[in-house]
Amino acid sequence: MKQIRLFSGLFTVGFWTLASRILGFLREILLTAYIGPGPVMDAFVAAFRLPNMFRRFFAEGAFNAAFVPMFSKRLEGDENAEGFAQDAFNLLGAAVLALVGLAMVFMPGLVWLTAEGFYGDERFDLAVDYGYIVFPYILFMSLAALFSGVLNATGRFAAAAAAPVLLNIFACTALIFGALSGGEVIRWLIAVIPIAGIAQLALVWVATERAGIHIRPGVPRLSPEMRNMVRIAIPAALAMGVTQVNLVVGQLVASKTEKAVSWLFAADRLYQLPLGVVGIAIGIVLLPDLSRRLRADDKDGARNAFSRAGEFMLLLTLPSTIAFLIIPIPLVSVLFERGQFSAEDTAATALAVAVYGVGLPSFMLQKLLQPLFFAREDTRSPFRYAAVAMVINAALAFGLYPLVGWIAPAIAASAAGWAMVALLAIGARRMGDEARFDDRFKQRAWRIVAASVGMGIVLFAAIQMFGWAFALAGWRYLALLGLIGTAAVAYFVLGHLLGAFKLAEFKRALRRS
């Protein structure tokens, strides 16, 4: 039953995250079609990445890593969990308000620090202009993260997982309306982002009220509990935000080449689909589950939860990785090549997708391994590992740029991702058996690998036989659907025959979720 409950949570979060990512894809398709790689899109990417970067520190990264285990402990021990959440809300709100104020004053400096290559051309002024409008989004999303943490700790995953869908609904609507109205499409897009943030905050706030936990704005109070939370949160900020920081470093390097920021952004959105669906689901569901089990000294349960999450990760990550390596051009072509997005843009973006594909398993494994530390309120170890990984990323990004050009950031991000995983795995050895995979995982892992390789062979054969269909404008959509369908059938048939998974487990988890 516990295993089904874990899978149920993973499927619930995974379903809503998949819906968000699909709508996010539609948003990027509209963005690349109506605007396309160039100065305006480069400037938007740089501006929008600023609140997203700080969100990893103040919200989904540092805050959840520190808040969720501490809140869960008080919730189960009947130790005034609501009062703790109230104090955290006030402190977080004050901190992010101060950040927004500083950003409004120093926006040109922020843009220069994250996209220095823009300086001296129109992209810089555009990015600063857009940044003033979109940066307040971080306030609403940071507060929404607190309510999401409360909901996740109480086992209510749906509302928190569904909230990001609203951003993409608002953004897609703005892009379409802007194009139909004949105005500046980008202006409609950036104007709607803070509004979407307010809608997301409202959704999770109402859901928290319905869960019986009432939080209201108040004066921040730096109590001993809050000091302890901040002490845990500061190192977690870097540990959880390492991927975002690496993306910003990559943007800094790529900004020296026109259109490169847009190419890397489009590639990032593609590999973020499986990373979001699987990696975020694991991080959200596994952390509170591990925290509860470790407090109850349920080592067997903790090991089972860790191993089942590992199976879930492998199950969906390996096929995605192989697809990114074998068919990056068909994927990018069908999804993005229209309007202002040319064949040259497709070739460049596909190269980045393949490179990011090599690093995809490492980004997933980080989501699996980090909760082992955070559930024990150990954020210092991941902090140290993240610092090493960021140094590796920066050294490779800047060092390889003179040799390989704009693709250097993608190579650096993948290499740094694997370095981070190696450090996390070595650090987890001292935790005991609950941080090691069980026998069932070991038996199934090689079967999942075999099924994925078999799927890759089928996919490679299919693209060799029917690749010509992608040259026909009216058939390329059906051709991609056919490729994906063929790969999916091959994977699940091989996986079932090899014993990599049992379809009955999916049915039970889906019924429960």
Q: What are the tens digits of pLDDT across the range 202-256?
A: 998 998 888 888 888 888 887 887 888 777 777 766 666 666 677 778 888 888 8
Contacts of range 78-83, beta carbons closer than 8 Å, 24 or more positions apart = 81/213, 82/213, 82/214, 82/215
Name the H helices within 467-502: 476-498
Q: How would residue 107 be classed by pLDDT, with cut points 50, 70 and 90?
A: very high
Q: How would residue 383 be classed by pLDDT, with cut points 50, 70 and 90?
A: confident
Number of Cα atoms under 13 Å in the Cβ half of residue 21: 21
Q: How would residue 30 be classed by pLDDT, with cut points 50, 70 and 90?
A: confident
Task: Please state, in angstroms and as integers, the Cα–Cα distance from residue 23 to each residue in 19, 27, 416, following that order.
Answer: 6, 6, 29
Of 60, 142, 61, 72, residue with least CA distance to 100: 142
Please give the single-letter amino acid code of residue 465.
Answer: M
Q: What is the pLDDT of residue 455?
A: 92
Q: How would residue 2 be classed by pLDDT, with cut points 50, 70 and 90?
A: very low
Mean pLDDT across 139-165: 80
Q: What is the pLDDT of residue 512?
A: 46
Q: How would residue 287 be classed by pLDDT, with cut points 50, 70 and 90?
A: low
Mean pLDDT across 129-135: 94
Q: What is the pLDDT of residue 1?
A: 44
Q: Are 253 and 398 in contact (CB under 8 A)?
A: yes
Q: What are the tens digits of pLDDT across the range 157-180?
A: 777 777 888 888 999 999 998 888
Tell me: pLDDT of 285 over 90.
no
Question: How far apart are alpha carbons 240 and 173 in whole angstroms?
Answer: 31
Higher local confidence (pLDDT), 254 or 130: 130
Indicate the domain borders of the chain.
Answer: 2-437, 442-513
Of 439, 437, 479, 477, residue with least CA distance to 462: 479
Supply the DSSP string of 204-247, one letter for each residue: HHHHHHHTT-----------HHHHHHHHHHHHHHHHHTHHHHHH
Please give the single-letter amino acid code of residue 250.
Answer: G
Q: What is the pLDDT of residue 322?
A: 92
Q: At what angle do helices 224-240 and 380-404 cross, to 10 degrees?
A: 30
